[in-house]
Amino acid sequence: MSETQKQSETPKPGDTQKQGAAQKPLAGLKVVELGTLIAGPFCTRIMAEFGAEVIKVESPDGGDPLRKWRKLYEGTSLWWYVQARNKKSVTANLKHSEGVAFVRKLIAEADILVENFRPGVLEKLGLSWESLHADNPGLVMVRLSGFGQSGPYKDQPGFGAVGESMGGLRYITGFADRPPVRTGISIGDSIAALWGAIGALMALRHREINGGAGQVVDVALYEAVFAMMESMVPEFDVFGFVRERTGNIMPGITPSNTHTTRDGKHVTIGANGDAIFKRFMQAIGRPDLADDPTLADNAGRDARRDEIYALIDGWCAEHDEAEVLAVLAKAEVPSSRVYSAVDMFADPQFIARQMFQSATLPDGKPFRMPGIVPTLSATPGGTEWIGPALGAHTDEVLAALGYAAERIAELRAAGAV
What residues act catalytically?
A: 189
Q: How far is Cα 15 from Cα 13, in angstroms, rounded to an integer?
A: 6
Q: Are 235 and 170 in contact (CB under 8 A)?
A: no
Residues in Cβ contact with 417 at an 8 Å cutoff, skipping those fewer than 6 apart: 60, 90, 91, 92, 93, 98, 99, 102, 391, 394, 398, 408, 411
Q: How far is Cα 175 from Cα 170, in angstroms, rounded to an integer?
A: 11
Angle at CA 41, nearest 5°, toward 90 and 26?
85
Pairing of strands 72-73, 30-34: unpaired
CB burial of 152-169 (b: ≥16 within 10 Å; e: otherwise) equals ebbeeebebebbbbbbbb
HEC per residue, 122-135: HHHCCCCHHHHHHH
CA–centroid distance for 59 within its chain: 24
Q: Are 57 and 87 in contact (CB under 8 A)?
A: no
Q: Which of 350, 331, 328, 330 is nearest to 339 (CA)?
A: 350
Q: How far is Cα 319 from Cα 354, in angstroms, rounded to an integer?
A: 32
CA torsion sign, 3 to 101 to 196 to 211? negative
In degrees rounded to 5, what are phi and psi of residue 246? -135, 20
Q: How far is Cα 345 from Cα 351, in angstroms, rounded to an integer?
A: 8
Residues facing 335 on adjacent strands: 269
Rounded to a whole number, what is the largest CA-CA distance in the chain?
A: 85
Element (H, E) at 217: strand 216-220
Residues in Cβ contact with 169 at an 8 Å cutoff, skipping those fewer than 6 apart: 183, 187, 188, 225, 228, 229
Q: How far is Cα 84 from Cα 87, in angstroms, rounded to an integer?
A: 6
